[in-house]
């Protein structure tokens, strides 16, 4: 999985070869593909691995107040990417662009999406239960937020003007999230380092 | 340009060849590439052509009330795509995924994005001037809407559950657009056929 990550960062998805992955392991290409039927089999498995990693990281902030968990989730999409991370998300976007042609990728992306949606919904539900968020349709708001966050990431990669990204985050907080927060609850500032969360979306 | 459109629908971007484009014209591949240095040169030019087409179509609704123009712009992203259109947008998404590797694509996408932003801003500005929309930061709201619309399209292609798309549109209207409309102004229902607008984003 680490070899696949490294090879994706270096070559992107379109130019990824089985050899490039094998070169990053102490094993041979034939050993690797004794375990996987094809490069795309390995890559589909890698998507599952990313989802597990993402969920482990989110579990680490599971005991914080709902507003902090919400801000952690949101801020993670708006972080200025390090070189490696940008290369990686660029490769993931290429891979997502192949999903319409590949059922396995599509299935994996749907599962990731369902789980991201469930996570965000449960943060919003917990916020209502804790009296920090107003009562609202959490499924609806979670979907709207995910769509905007996803659009923000794709635009960051393909149009790539990061000052816009900061403005956009502010607008999203003012115009969508503030309506959800109870009076007197502010959108929290999250400490650094949460950006090590790795997602499953490009 | 028509040949490029057809070839992109049939083959996608990754598998697009100069020959596949030439096969759709009465001319030879060598004739075609007397005019273009490479396949990607032709494709970059095609992006410019899409933008011009999009602007011509938007100009056709330029004399309608601002709320109708806004709904026209928004609805265009939420339309259930015909087969051909879905294939085309899938190819555009592949192409966008190459933008981080290709300066010409990135430049074209930036220009498209700037013009979409300017168009949406001018619709919002006109709405304020006409007393249909509340006074608001139109640059901010235009960016938020574009980002959500862009995310919606990418999700439609890569996760592909169109019932979600209808719900999402409703949520976006309720939670973002309604705040912009003056009391008594409703989000209008736009007549069919506006979907022939073709955009420049995947």
Tens digit of each residue's pLDDT (9 = 90 or more) over B118-160:
999 999 999 999 999 999 999 999 999 999 999 998 988 888 7
Neighbours of A144 (CB within 10 A): 24
Q: Looking up tokens 């290409």, which residue turns up?
A: A29
Q: What share of chain A is helix, strand, coil (3-state, %, to 5)?
A: 70, 0, 25
| Chain B contact for A140 (CB, 8 A cutoff) | yes
Question: What tens digit of pLDDT does each residue of A89-127 get?
Answer: 888 888 888 888 888 888 888 988 998 999 999 999 999
Whether B164 and A172 lie within 8 Å, measured CB to CB:
no
Exposure string of B40-68, with b = 16+ CB inside 10 Å and e = fewer, is bebbbebbeebbeebeebbeebeeeebbb
Say which residue, A76 or A106, is predicted with more confidence. A106
- What's the average model confidence in pLDDT over B167-173? 92
Question: What tens digit of pLDDT does each residue of A2-60 get?
Answer: 899 899 888 888 889 988 998 998 888 888 888 888 888 888 888 888 888 877 877 88
Q: Which residues pair with B181 in a beta bridge?
A: B133
A92 CB neighbours in chain B (<8 A) are none
| Chain B contact for A14 (CB, 8 A cutoff) | yes
| Whole-complex ipTM | 0.87
Q: Which residues contact B199 (CB under 8 A, 6 or more apart)?
A: B50, B54, B76, B77, B116
Whether A154 and B151 lie within 8 Å, measured CB to CB:
yes
Residue of B nearest to A102 (CA): B158
Q: What is the DSSP letter of A194?
A: G
């Amino acid at each position: 999985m680490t070899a696949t990550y490294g090879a994706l960062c270096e070559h992107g998805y379109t130019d990824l070869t089985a050899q490039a992955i094998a070169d990053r392991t102490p094993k041979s290409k034939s050993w690797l593909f004794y375990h996987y039927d094809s490069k795309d089999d390995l890559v589909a498995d890698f998507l599952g691995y990313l989802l597990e990693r993402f969920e482990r990281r989110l579990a680490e902030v599971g005991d914080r107040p709902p507003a902090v968990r919400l801000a952690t989730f949101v801020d993670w999409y708006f972080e200025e990417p390090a070189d490696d991370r940008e290369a990686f998300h660029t490769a993931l976007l290429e891979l997502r662009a192949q999903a319409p042609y590949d059922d396995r990728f599509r299935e994996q992306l749907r599962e990731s999406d369902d789980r991201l949606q469930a996570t965000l919904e449960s943060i919003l539900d917990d916020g209502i239960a804790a009296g920090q968020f107003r009562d609202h349709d959490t499924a609806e708001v979670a979907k709207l937020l995910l769509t905007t966050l996803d659009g923000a990431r794709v635009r960051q990669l393909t149009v790539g003007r990061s000052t816009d990204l900061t403005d956009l985050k502010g607008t999203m907080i003012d115009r969508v999230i503030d309506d959800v927060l109870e009076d007197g609850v502010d959108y929290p500032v999250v400490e650094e380092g949460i950006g090590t969360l790795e997602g499953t979306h490009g």
